[in-house]
Chains A and B, each alone.
Chain A
Amino acid sequence: MRADLEIIQQWVKPGHHVLDLGCGDGTLLDFLKRERNASGFGLEINPDHITTCMNRGVSVIEQNLDTQGLDNFEDNSFDIVLMTQALQAVRRPDKVLDEMLRLGDEGIVTFPNFAHWRLRWGLALSGRMPESEALPYKWYNTPNIRLCTFKDFEALCRQKGIRIKSRRVVDGQHQNNWLARLWPNLLGEIAIYRITREKQQ
């Protein structure tokens, strides 16, 4: 089983109502439905992914976060809002984070770390935009327009009053790695964050 699915599953309670932003082919929602009896929806824009979701019985809505936003969803209408490997591809990640925590009590966010040593090394050595397994595109055609590091993300959360409840760092194959736990911003490739609003005083 993919380590990220296993980790995310632990944070979803049985019967939770879940929204998955950029749900891809519905693997995660399908998994949560079977393992956690979770209900909910996925949002997606890729036509092939949408078709796959429909065929496997995952409720999917064609909706573009950048152009359509999330206005059609009511406040606190979900237990958890997920966003795996999509935060770096939206125009305003900061606003999407606000929206996630408007719609749900908790958010789970995963994204690739732009400060991973291989990317740093590649840039330092070749002087060209880094490419990796997690970031396989050229600079001019990449959908990943808002790349950041773990430190960047955590700084944004602090600034926005978002509390990080947990953070897990894994490698490109979503495997746990003790080195990545030790020096996450240097050795971790993908982080899985569990976030919530700071309690109002």
Chain B
Amino acid sequence: MPDDVVNLTIDGVPVSVPKGTLVIEAAKQAGVLVPHYCYHPGLPVAGLCRMCLVEIEKQPKLAIACATQATEGMVVKTQAEQAKRARTSVLEFLLINHPLDCPICDQAGECELQDFTFQEGRPATRYSPDYAKRFNPVEDFGPDVLYVPNRCILCTRCVRFMEDVAKEPVLNVSERGDRAYIGIHPDERLDHPWAGNVVDLCPVGSLLSKDFLHKARAWELDKTAAVCTGCSQGCNVTLDTRENVVVRVRPRPNLEVNRYFICDHGRMNYRWMNRGDRIEAPLVRRDGELRATDWDEAVEHVATRLRGAAGRAVALVSPRASTEALFLARELLGGGGAGLDWTGAFQVVMGEEAPLPGVPDLALRAERAPNGTGAELLGYRRDYPAVLAAAESAAVVLVLDEPEVAVRTAGALIYVGTVLPEGARGAEAVLPIANVAEEDGTFVNRDGRVQRYFQAKPAPGMARPAWWVLSELLVTLRRGEHLASASAAFDVLAERVAPFAGLSYSSVGLVGQRVSVGAGVPA
């Protein structure tokens, strides 16, 4: 037996875990969730809420599962009578001053205090109905964070996040005993670029996001796994939608990329997904005017223009487009049988870099492009102005969802996008596509990690995913097969582009997979 593995039993389930694993983490592997408040896998252990008390055989007293390391032969009983009674008592203490305002609390439905009280708390208080609960007014902590001290259970996750992860210790525990509350430095605000994480970390509704305040109840939300489009880091996120409107972005744990956190830039970067001014039908130019038509005719119209074209072809793409769409756009203009001299480029918006000091290799990157690496791997160039200039004399210009485009060309301009910008009104054809929240696809982040995102809401009108539009064009030109899904499009991509060889949607999964090393990927 290797030295670095210990075997223990938790609630009768035998598990083997690496040496040094905490009992609470070992219990997760045994399928047992030990109730806890102060413990969070992304933060240093504090061991102060006393909620995770469990019985360990041959130990005289109950132990806290979050600060006890698993040892060989340990027998843990989370449901022992004594442990349950202790946890019920802890909950009773927490609820002495906790207001009964679940109906107006944003956390209701995803509140750990609610969940564990339902699970093992007392059904009623032992205090007299006349007992006046401690009351402190709501405080404004920062640009997006409100603090409701009455609901606080002093788990100090927020304090530890700001101190040990964000390394900007502006929060503390002020006062003592039952008067304690979370205090903020009088001259400081909670305006660290990653400060929004304290809202997710808060197990109760004490720290609230102003952006999400009163917007929706937790049980009305549909959750979809996605990848943040804010920068080239490619943090894993969950899109919360309510009646097909994205209302919130939350981090989705991925130990390889973003651990448990996302930055505030990514958190707020969702409103454009709900834009109402979308193109809803394909438009083709007839008698000098753009007219709405159906997909069959629009595809045929564009295919006719492409069939007759010869000479230079230019693709101006958005680094927010999926890898599948970028690949198919390249196939359309540059693939075998196109007979065109192909160049493609993408434009990257730059911003300020904002690292999260407590997590290595995690930052809001200066390059605000989720799929810049993907575009580069597929042969798109970064010298956008040069390619834009070359577009003037090109025979065909394909613009893929680049709303800032201001292109002048002598050839045919084909605009494939979600909205119709002023600069694209001279297009030969406008094909409406789904945005990131409305399609399945992949991004390649700055480390060359291919990550999938999923469809969170339906696309408006006749808009279709870009991979579908481009593959239909290829079919009409007799240069491709019908593709049934984004997964099928990715399979073709993996077959033809070397760095993606051997990858598929099922192998990429929810955590992502790196492209082959040494394929032009930044190390």
* A and B assemble together: no
Q: Which residues in A have some Cβ–Cβ distance to B below 8 Å?
A: none
Q: Which residues in B have some Cβ–Cβ distance to A below 8 Å?
A: none
